[in-house]
Structure 1
Amino acid sequence: MPTRTDGAAFFSKNCNSCHGVDGTGGGPAAENLSVAPTDLTMLSAKNGGTFPQARALSYIYGDPENSHLSRVMPQFGGEMAEALVPVEIEGILTPTPRELAGLLFYLESIQQ
């Protein structure tokens, strides 16, 4: 099972440039974006104090409500779907790409 440390490594490789090292949205590429990156440390605070696992996963993996073509953040998917692990999301064991499971654990750990 992936860990928070695995997620931190994925975040460092794929997310730091826009979301910043601490996840607050102040990465070096952020100033060039038309839409400011989300402060990832405030996801729980904006969701009544509960980390929105399902919503975060759907947005990162490829939000069905917003095409990846209409947003700045890249859609993660493709080959990731080949390495799935069961993650309990909102009480349901959900097959989740290994890298994104670790990322979810990491994002939950940085909530304020």
Structure 2
Amino acid sequence: MKSVTFLFVASFGLGVGMAAAEETDVGKVLYDQYCSACHGFSGKGGGELTEILTVQVPQLTGLAKANDGEFPMLRVIHVIDGRSGLRAHMGPMPIFGEMFMSDAEEKLMGAVIETRGRILSIATYLESIQE
């Protein structure tokens, strides 16, 4: 019985690790598509739109360092989904929360879960590139 429990725990751990790796990959794809124009592909700023912006774009690779070494996951999620307004995003940044929603299924639980998953994937990717 002990070996069966170990096998289950090891399999579960492997599955979680694989899911985290896949989530980071999805997060990078979404980040590259929606965030890199301002924040750069590396997360250090210098995206192609920065030359026309009137505000400085923060380096996203230093979020943990600026927060005593701990990645501020909830704060990052709130910025991405629009709950925390930022001047650079013309006020609140709900554009991404809304963009990830399906128009036809906006009120359905599946669409909400998918939207939250995309936002979490971007935040998890940002956590993975911290210096």
Normalising to structure 1: TM-score of the pair?
0.77
Unaligned runs of 5+ in 2: 1-18
Q: Is 1:84 the counterpart of 2:105 in the alignment?
A: no
| Match of residue 54, structure 2, among 34, 50, 53 | 34
| Distance apart, 1:105 and its partner CA | 1.1
Q: 1:60 to 1:107 in 2, by over 3 A?
A: same
Q: Is 1:10 the counterpart of 2:30 in the alignment?
A: yes
Greater fraction of residues in strand: 1
Equivalence for 1:106: 125
Provide the aligned length of Structure 1 versus Structure 2: 101
Structure 1 segments of 4+ aligned residues over 2 angstroms from their partners: 63-71
Q: Is 1:75 the counterpart of 2:104 in the alignment?
A: no
* Identity, % of aligned positions: 34
- Per-residue deviation, residues 9-61 of structure 1 (Å, max 9, x unmatched): 00111111111110001111111101111100010011010000010000110
| Distance apart, 1:101 and its partner CA | 1.3
User: SS of the residue aligned with 1:84?
Assistant: helix
Larger Rg: 2
Higher relative contact order (CA 8 A, sep 6+): 1
Greater fraction of residues in helix: 2
Superposed CA RMSD in Å reads: 2.5
- Per-residue deviation, residues 36-87 of structure 1 (Å, max 9, x unmatched): 111000100110100000100001100345585426x6631121772417xx
User: SS of the residue aligned with 1:97?
Assistant: helix
